[in-house]
Amino acid sequence: MTQMARWSFHGILAFVSLLVFLTHGVYASDGDADPIYKACVEQCEKTGCVGEKCFQHCKFSSDGKPVGGPWYLQEPLYLQWKQWDCRSDCQYHCMLAREEEREKLGGKPVKYHGKWPFHRAYGFQEPVSVALSALNLAIQFHGWVSFFILIYYKLQLTPSKKTYYEYTGLWHIYGILSMNSWFWSAVFHSRDVELTEKLDCSSAVALLGFSLILAILRAFSMRDEAARVMVSAPIIAFVTTHILYLNFYNLDYGLNMKVCVAMGVAQLLIWAVWASVTCHPSRFKLWVAVVGGGLAILLEIYDFPPYQGFVDAHALWHATTIPLTYLWWSFVKDDAEFRTSSLLKKARRVQLLKPQILSKCKRFACFLEAQKGRVMVTNVVRTRLKDMEQMMNAEQQQQQEQEQKHQSTLSDPALLDSDEGIIREVKLSSLNMELRLLRLIAEDTSEVPAIRFTKKSTGGTIVEKSISWNLPPVGWFKLNTSVAARSNLDLAGAGGLERDSNGALSVEKK
């Protein structure tokens, strides 16, 4: 490990340790336990007023029905979809009245029902967070669309019209989950009810879980489908179980915060380690995104009361994610270009080397075929050689018996020129000649090359060549011949072996 990588690794450990040390449970909601606040809400629900401000839909007749019809019909049309009822309005205005009293007494703001006291604007509960969530949604949409255009219209595609980039589908899913998460974030900060809170928490957990999967797959360059499934399955199971727990058992905000922070820190750690060891051309963008994301997490852990009732730590976190989102999609597009160019270079290199590879393969296939032919010829020749040796031994034994039997007769010079002696001599000579020929062929085909000679070229280099028996072409036959003569007796003999393209012995001639 180099010095730079070692320092990077130590910095990552220190950063993660800081996040773990700072992470703890969320602040308790002291405001809704305040007896003055609780008394104000109870009084408002009975009278329909908080101080001098009264609400029409909090007035009820003697039979318990609201005066003037249902409460959701007593507000302007642009506010009716917010579903501000009597209880929510009483809680909101009692909270503001109590915070004014607390400020006059020098006290600090406290949370009510898990949230800081915000001022509404045009019916929106947290207008700044809503606006920043919508802006994040727009940046995510812009990044995803620009990535889509780059992949399918600017970068080269495969002959089957698919992308060379192996993580295209994963980034499409990431873009859709991101836009879904920011949409429900805007809805939740617009009106905080149980349904919108569940949708906001569930979409955020789904996004963080998939981002963790994507970080593992990209950092470890997992392109095999089986490996991807093995990594994704346990994380998907955990995320699904957590979402079901929040929606159908207990909407625990503190537990959800810990789970989200843990998955966020885990993927930041993975990206940081990968950025410290890779030679990716856009690793510095990744470093900025990782460090910025880590600092942004601190705003989620340690929030502060809203400034002027509008901007709190969570709203600032939304603001910091806007440039980080733009930078992140810039890195994703750079990564797509980098991987596509690398794969195209490999493809072009293969195309250039393809003729050489095919030529080498063809020569190797021919070599194997020739070796196969030589083995077949060797087996045929060796079988014939064994038979010839047996025949030669039988002929020699018969000749010895005949010589012993007719020793006196053969001593007569007149019989040397007889037909029987000449025929037997020619037969033995022919067998000896064929035997020598077969031995020559067997030696020639058993070890390749059989004959070597060197020749000095004009450049001074010594060229060594080999001569050996080769198979004839398909449809051809090869005839190997040999002759022998005995001049003092005027005797001569000839023989040959004819083989086909498979090396099989087809004709014997003597």
User: pLDDT tens digits for 393-404?
Assistant: 776 777 677 666
The yes-or-no verdict on residue 210 having pLDDT over 50 is yes
- Closest CA relative to residue 189, chosen from 253, 133, 118, 126: 126
Asked if residue 215 belongs to a domain, the reply is: yes
Parallel, antiparallel, or unpaired: how do β-strands 505-509 and 49-50 relate? unpaired
Contact 270, 219 (CB under 8 A): yes
- Residues 268, 289: Cα–Cα separation, whole Å: 9
Q: Does 231 share its domain with 256?
A: yes
Q: State residue 193's pLDDT score.
A: 81
Q: State residue 96's pLDDT score.
A: 84
Q: Does 113 share its domain with 130?
A: no
Neighbours of 128 (CB within 10 A): 23
Q: Mean per-residue pLDDT for 60-67?
A: 48
CB hemisphere CA count around 130 (13 angstroms): 17
Q: How long is the chain?
A: 510
Asked if residue 259 belongs to a domain, the reply is: yes
pLDDT in tens, 98-152: 888 888 888 888 888 777 788 888 778 889 999 999 999 999 999 999 999 999 9
Q: What is the mean pLDDT of the chain?
A: 75
Asked if residue 292 belongs to a domain, the reply is: yes
Write out the DSSP string of 155-172. Answer: SPBPTTS-BS-TTHHHHH
Q: Does 342 share its domain with 226?
A: yes
Asked if residue 191 belongs to a domain, the reply is: yes
202 burial via Cβ count (<10 Å: 0-12, 13-18, 19+): buried
- Residues 200, 369: Cα–Cα separation, whole Å: 70
Q: Does 134 share its domain with 107?
A: no
Q: State residue 431's pLDDT score.
A: 54
Q: State residue 241's pLDDT score.
A: 96
Q: Does 183 share its domain with 319?
A: yes
The yes-or-no verdict on residue 414 having pLDDT over 70 is no
Q: State residue 447's pLDDT score.
A: 40
- Residues 306, 422: Cα–Cα separation, whole Å: 129
Residue 424's domain comprises 406-509
- Residues 483, 491: Cα–Cα separation, whole Å: 11
Q: Does 162 share its domain with 109?
A: no
Q: Mean per-residue pLDDT for 213-237?
A: 93
Q: Does 238 share its domain with 206?
A: yes
Asked if residue 230 belongs to a domain, the reply is: yes
Q: State residue 22's pLDDT score.
A: 41
Q: Does 289 share its domain with 425?
A: no
Contact 189, 371 (CB under 8 A): no
Asked if residue 398 belongs to a domain, the reply is: no
Count the domains in the chain.
Answer: 3
Q: State residue 440's pLDDT score.
A: 54
Contact 209, 183 (CB under 8 A): no
Residue at a domain's end among 49, 82, 117: 117
Contacts of residue 139, Cβ cutoff 8 Å, sequence gap at least 6: 322, 325, 326, 329
Q: State residue 474's pLDDT score.
A: 75
Q: State residue 215's pLDDT score.
A: 95
Identity of the highest mean pLDDT range in 16-20, 337-341, 355-359? 337-341
- Closest CA relative to residue 9, chosen from 139, 499, 1: 1
Q: In sequence order, which ranges of 225-252 are alpha helices (DSSP H)? A: 225-248
Q: State residue 385's pLDDT score.
A: 58
Q: Does 306 share its domain with 439?
A: no
The distance of Cα 426 from the centroid of its chain, to the nearest Å, equals 79
The distance of Cα 468 from the centroid of its chain, to the nearest Å, equals 52
CATH code where residue 301 lies = 1.20.1070
pLDDT in tens, 147-201: 999 999 999 988 888 999 999 999 999 999 999 999 999 999 888 888 888 999 9
Q: Does 222 share its domain with 361?
A: yes
Choice between 48 and 59, residue whose per-residue pLDDT is larger: 48
Write out the DSSP string of 319-371. Answer: HHHHHHHHHHHHHHHHHHHHHHHHHHHHHHHHHHHHHHHHHHHHHHHHHHHHH
Amino acid at 415: L
Q: What is the pTM of this model?
A: 0.62
Structure tokens, 366: 């021919």
- Residues 384, 378: Cα–Cα separation, whole Å: 10
Q: Mean per-residue pLDDT for 416-437?
A: 51
Q: State residue 360's pLDDT score.
A: 58
Q: Does 109 share its domain with 146?
A: no
Asked if residue 395 belongs to a domain, the reply is: no
Residue at a domain's end among 374, 397, 428: 374
Residue at a domain's end among 117, 147, 180: 117
Q: State residue 33's pLDDT score.
A: 78
Choice between 203 and 402, residue whose per-residue pLDDT is larger: 203
Contact 147, 336 (CB under 8 A): yes
The yes-or-no verdict on residue 9 having pLDDT over 50 is no
Which of 34-38, 305-309, 416-420, 464-468 bottoms out in mean pLDDT, i.e. has the lowest? 416-420
Q: State residue 82's pLDDT score.
A: 55
Structure tokens, 42: 């109870």
Asked if residue 389 belongs to a domain, the reply is: no
Q: Does 148 share its domain with 112?
A: no
Choice between 421 and 329, residue whose per-residue pLDDT is larger: 329
The yes-or-no verdict on residue 23 having pLDDT over 60 is no
CB hemisphere CA count around 278 (13 angstroms): 20
